[in-house]
Amino acid sequence: MKPSAFTYHAPRTLTEALTLVATLDNARVLAGGQSLMPMMNYRVVQPEHLIDLGRIPELAFVEDTADGLKVGAMTTQRTIERSDVVQKRCPLLIDALFHVGHQQTRNRGTIGGSICHLDPSAELPVTACALDAVLTAASNNGRRKITFADFPAGYLTTSLEPDEILVQIDFGKWPERAGSAFEEYAVRPADFAIVSIATVIALDEGDIVTDARIAAGGIAPVPTRLTNVETMLKGKRVSSALIERAATAAATLPAEGDDMNPAEYRQELAGHLTQRALTKALQRVRASADT
Amino acid sequence: MSGKSLGTASLSPERSGELIGSSVPRVEDTRLLRGEARFIDDIVLPDMLHAVFARSRSAHARIKGVDTAAAKAVPGVHAVLLYADLRPLLTCDRIPLALAAAAVKFDAEPVCLVNDEACYVGEPIALVVADNRRIAEDAAALIEVDYDELPVVTDPHDGLLPGAPRARLDCPDNLTAEHVVKYGDVDRIFGTAAHTFSEQFRMEKGGGFSIEPRGIIARYDAVEDLLTVWNGTQTPHRAKTVMVQTLGLAEHQLRVIAPDVGGGFGPKAVFHPEEIAIPAAALLLRRPIKWFEDRLESFTATVQERRQIWNVEVAFDAAGKLGGIRGRIYHDHGANVPYGVALPYNGITNMIGPYVLPALHLTASLCLTNMVPVAPTRGAGRPQGTFVMERMLDRIARTLDLTRDEVRRRNLIPPEQMPYATPIKQRDGSVMTYDSGDYPQCQRRALAAADWNGFEERRVAALREGRLLGIGLANYVEGTGRGPFESTAIRIGASGQIFVTSGATAQGQGTKTMLAQLAASVFGVSPDRVHVTDGDTAATPLGLGAFASRQAVTAGNAAYLAAQSVAEKAKAVASVMLEVAPEDLELKDGEIRVAGVPKLKKSLAEVARALGGLPGFALPGNMDPGLAAAVDYQPMGMTYTNGTHIAEAEVNPISGAVKIHRYTVVHDCGRMINPMMVEGQVRGGVVHGIGMTLFELMRFDDSGQPLTGTLADYLLPTADVVPRIDIHHMESPSPLNPLGVKGAAESGTIGAPSVVISAIEDALRPLELRITELPILPARLRALIRTAQKAAKHA
Amino acid sequence: MSTHEITITVNGKEHKRTVDSRLHLADFLRQELSLTGTHIGCEHGVCGACTVLVDGASARSCLMLAVQADGRRVETIESVAAPDGALHPIQAALSRHHGLQCGYCTPGVVMTLLELQRECGDTPMTEAEIRRALSGNLCRCTGYQGMVEAALDVLPRAAAGERTKA
């Protein structure tokens, strides 16, 4: 099972890479290769040109800024999961990465690669969805910011233009008095989730929910924000009854299923995981408020 | 030791030393650990070319034409071969794989390449030979096949209905074979039984999926007029026989070698079309050719198993004792018959297991379908039969409000009836007779080891934390050590090195260690002083290889007897050389010593040199030349391994996830040669069984297209989802062979599905849920739970 | 198609080769350098048989192109035992605990455990952590228990009570 022939390019700068994507036909951008290479080995994808971003140092970074955490698209999942800055500024990413593949794949797999592959049950796109991540796409014409909500164009398809490369993901400022959790169900722990839930909730000192973000993977062709569940929570005093209601609401959202994992099953999981995630996030708010 | 010795196990303690029964380190390990092994794909020959098959994309079609022009034009391509290109090299149209059986209605033998009718997705149509695999794949993608689509059969029940389409147009219908197993007065028993119920069981497709795929290299050497075939096979001698027949060669023109083989589990015992196509192409092109199966091919081109439907009815009395079982089995046999028709028969006979079953009438219909051909995978039909029996026993217990251990206890064959002749006639006409074992004791020990009686406390404690815990129990028997024979020879030459050659063939079982250990025990040396050559038709002319958990029984006893014979001869020669009586001699550290006189001794090398002869001199004591012996050991009958498994599992009723927390096995495979390796076999077998219960599912759609083609879809058990497996041994020696041994390689797989499902049902006890299918993936279990919950609400 | 001149340090030795762009690292090691200890089991990054260390980090060599390894340091199973052939403690433990049978997945398992050993330093490892680390290496023979025992034997041990928590 060998890939079909292609021409390999290893640009050393982003500018070089952007020129290549703008000029080459039937080209694919190679990030960590943990999704693209299997598809190429199976010859499901047969590009004529492969543009490897792995030699562009400017695309791999983790930056702690006043506006929040910024991560370069080519930063490996392993670097992120071991980053103290990420642990402090965006712990949800670390929780999500606990469920991503195996160390052998996280060592090479990148955050940008996963987000651009946009598998609906992959953990990092769901996390980006929950956090309203802002993606920076670069082209020879400059850079543009895309909020995650506008990023997916469909199943496994992004709204990047053919001459654009994802270069950076901004996760925004982590809310005050917030807790987060990433919960999923997969048949084996390292598999893509059947359903996953990423959540962040923030409370004021009177336990009123000031911010609530919940994103689900696996119920639709693209990661989905559970906005009406978030609305249910916001402004309310947090309680187990409230979480229960939120979970019930999550379980009644429309879901798309397949033969192996039908819609009804995914809905139930969405409800169950929402409850687990909110409960854990709440515990974490309280734990952080205590310290 | 709790089993009884019933025969004349002829093992004298001074002979066996302490080696037999000792967990000595494996002689195989060092090369494997250093990365020095030679698996098929590691072998590189000068001028070697690489092959790729173009395979049918249709599950059933007439092939109207194949356009190979574009493929042939790819630089680096040496040949693109079709059936018509290979046929002149063959003596027959089809590969002669039919195994005689009364049940066979007609043979459906495979072809090496499709000529006119493709019967499953993945059936090979063309063979591309190129400088390397990458180029061969490029060319294969350019081959255009013109398909005239035909109706498909994908269900083994519907395929036998009147008017069903034919899965193969060259067969009269889809019923390739039918077994009827019948004894006792079934109708009378059902007519008078206190209780009866019926149930349908469904098992889906799964397979072997060794981590090393299949592979083959063929090289024709014109100087030696020798075709050498390196084959990742469990059965090189059988492969040679088929190749000799099909390619019209004489025995001396063909050598088949199984090098290091990376796991077998059944499929590699089966002769596949590539094993003719590659040697034929090598003969045609006069260049060595390698084909190494890719992972997609292991889903579409390698045999699979397991898919059956059982419609059965059971009769039992008020005490829960079995009266009779009757019903019908529909067996999906795939698109042809590459390895006989025994699978459902194995299932039926194994269903009886360790229990007394007075009457039985089952009919198994083997239906051809347009899917990958079917042949044994670890367990070979037995896990299905055991599953049916154990599920029914659990339901009987529930019906009568008995505990599951009690209902089994009431039906187990008592030890005093050993050897126990079942009412089953086997394929060789003999009566299926359990040779030894104590089944009630095995269950008793398992219950104690797993703290069965203490489980209710654990259940309650878990419930307090909101966790649903269940416990399951299953017993089984496995017929092992199938004949008719296995060959092992031992030779000691001038170097004093002990050489063992055997028809046994290893794929990870530790066969070399087992044989070395047995020989070493006789010569009083360390096993690493013994060199073993297995799986090579040039080293051992006759042999059968690895299947039916047989090699310790067959090759092991052959090695042991051959070693004894060589040792006797060495002593006899030494007695002449040293001028002492043979009874004053002892064999230790590879030397024949005069007892009590340490300086008076002869090494095995000296004896071997003496028996090697000198021109014109007589051999010592006028002995036959050579310090060697060969034994073709023919087992008197099958040896029956048995076991009891107990598992504790936690069920998440919302996700349908199952986590096994504890797993206990009490296992009796007679006398153990190397307990560490026995445990390795049992653990691996159990995990394969857990896989076929909770993870592994090969899916096809209604048009016969495979829906599973990657190891991301076909879920093999991983280290983080399997439990520790706690193993306890009983050793009831088999009276049927000198070593008293039985096989161990498949038994774990046979018990595991039953016990895991039993534990799941138990965890969900309040729901009165019955699980009658394999596998049970989370979404499916959740669906069953949901239905049961709704029913409970309405009740 | 393109070809590339690359220099890769494999097991401490520098190799210069001209390779096709589509040659993956596993094939490069096996075919160009005859280092056949790295096995190919699935070529889609699931089975872990082809695991090697690239700049010290484990990687599926079937999912990495040889040209991507240009200038990098690769370690394969052939480098693990001592030059005199003496087994590394991880290898010896695998043999002792019967953590291998057919041996096809074994090189990948050894490389995974080698990385784990280097990374964990003196930090004790639980059985659950070891099982998670091994979950990227498929084995059809052993049921994994021998591998887990071997790792527990060689890696720093957690308190005794932790051992059985799976």
pLDDT in tens, A74-84: 999 999 999 99
Query: Which long-range contacts (C-beta less than 8 Å, at least 24 apart) are formed by A59-65?
Result: A59/A14, A59/A112, A59/A167, A60/A110, A62/A86, A64/A88, A64/A89
Residue A112 confidence (pLDDT)? 98
| pLDDT (mean) for A59-63 | 98
Q: How far apart are CA C44 and CA A45, in angstroms?
A: 13
Q: So what's the ipTM on this one?
A: 0.96
Cβ neighbours, 10 Å, residue B534: 24
Q: How far apart are CA B387 and CA B472, in angstroms?
A: 12
pLDDT classification of B14: cutoffs 50, 70, 90: very low
Residue B17 confidence (pLDDT)? 56
The low-confidence residues of chain C, meaning pLDDT below 70, are 158-166
Q: Among partner residues B137, B715, B786, which is closest to A188 by beta-carbon distance?
A: B715
Segment 56-115 of chain C within 8 Å of chain A by CB: 57-60, 62-65, 67-68, 70, 112, 115
Mean pLDDT rounded to a whole number for chain B? 95
Q: How far apart are CA B407 and CA B400, in angstroms?
A: 9
Distance from CA of A212 to the nearest CA of C (A): 32
Q: How far apart are CA B641 and CA B652, in angstroms?
A: 34
pLDDT classification of B727: cutoffs 50, 70, 90: very high
Which residues of chain A neighbour C57 with C-beta distances below 8 Å? 78, 107-108
Cβ neighbours, 10 Å, residue B592: 28
DSSP assignment string, B508-525: SS-HHHHHHHHHHHHHTS
Distance from CA of A219 to the nearest CA of B (A): 14
Q: Where are the beta strands (DSSP E) in B613-676?
A: 627-633, 639-652, 657-668
Q: Which amino acid is at B28?
A: E
Residue B11 confidence (pLDDT)? 39
| pLDDT (mean) for B147-175 | 97
Question: Are C103 and B295 inside 8 Å of each other by CB?
Answer: no
Q: How far apart are CA B494 and CA B603, in angstroms?
A: 10
Question: Are A104 and C48 inside 8 Å of each other by CB?
Answer: yes
Residue B402 confidence (pLDDT)? 98
And the tokens for B454?
A: 């203490």
Closest CA to B660 of B773, B745, B776, B744: B776
Q: Which amino acid is at C81?
A: A
Question: Are A187 and B777 inside 8 Å of each other by CB?
Answer: yes
Closest CA to C39 of C29, C47, C49, C31: C49
Establish how many alpha carbons lie within 13 A of residue B264's alpha carbon, considering only the half-sphere containing its beta carbon: 33
Q: How far apart are CA B511 and CA B502, in angstroms?
A: 10
Residue B101 confidence (pLDDT)? 83
Closest CA to B473 of B354, B380, B348, B329: B354
Which residues of chain A neighbour C112 with C-beta distances below 8 Å? 103-104
Q: How far apart are CA B362 and CA B666, in angstroms?
A: 30
Residue A218, chain B, CB below 8 Å: the answer is no
pLDDT classification of A290: cutoffs 50, 70, 90: low
Q: CA A259, B375, B330: angle at the middle one, nearest 5?
A: 60
Distance from CA of B759 to the nearest CA of A (A): 18
Scan for tokens 């590969």, then name that residue.
B95
Q: How far apart are CA A35 and CA C43, in angstroms?
A: 12
Contact call for residues B643 and B631 (beta carbons, < 8 A): no
- Neighboring chains of A (3 or more beta-carbon pairs < 8 A): B, C
A235 φψ region: left (φ > 0), alpha (ψ -120 to 50), beta (else): left
Residue A190, chain B, CB below 8 Å: the answer is yes
Kindly report the pTM of this predicted structure: 0.96
First to last CA, chain A: 54
| pLDDT (mean) for B20-49 | 97
Distance from CA of A72 to the nearest CA of B (A): 28
Q: Biggest alpha carbon distance in chain A?
A: 62
Residue A22: pLDDT above 80?
yes
pLDDT in tens, B604-658: 999 999 999 888 888 998 899 999 999 999 999 999 999 999 999 999 999 999 9
Distance from CA of C92 to the nearest CA of A (A): 23
pLDDT in tens, B209-238: 999 999 999 999 999 999 999 999 999 999
Q: How far apart are CA B379 and CA B366, in angstroms?
A: 18
Q: Which amino acid is at A252?
A: T
Residue C60, chain B, CB below 8 Å: the answer is no
Q: How far apart are CA A260 and CA A255, in angstroms?
A: 14
Residue B757: pLDDT above 50?
yes
Residue B138, chain A, CB below 8 Å: the answer is yes
- Neighboring chains of B (3 or more beta-carbon pairs < 8 A): A, C
Contact call for residues A197 and A274 (beta carbons, < 8 A): yes
DSSP assignment string, B245-311: HHHT--GGGEEEE--B----SSGGGS--THHHHHHHHHHHHTS-EEEE--HHHHHHTS-BB--EEEE
| pLDDT (mean) for B442-462 | 98
Alpha-carbon distance values, B412 to B388, B393, B408, B759, B779 (Å): 16, 12, 6, 21, 36
pLDDT classification of B103: cutoffs 50, 70, 90: confident
Residue C158 confidence (pLDDT)? 63
* Continuous segment of H or E residues that includes residue B423: strand B420-425
Q: Among partner residues A8, A105, A189, which is closest to C45 by beta-carbon distance?
A: A105
Scan for tokens 């096949």, then name that residue.
B145
Q: How far apart are CA B535 and CA B530, in angstroms?
A: 16
Q: Among partner residues B134, B296, B657, which is closest to A185 by beta-carbon distance?
A: B657
Sign of CA dihedral B317, B322, B326, B329: positive
Which residues of chain B neighbour C105 with C-beta distances below 8 Å? 211, 262
C24 forms bridges with which residues in the sheet?
C65
Helix residue ranges, H only, B341-438: 343-352, 382-400, 404-411
Residue B314 confidence (pLDDT)? 98
Burial class of residue B256 (count of CB atoms within 10 Å of its CB; 0-12, 13-18, 19+)? buried
Residue A3, chain C, CB below 8 Å: the answer is yes
Nearest CA in chain C to A54: C68
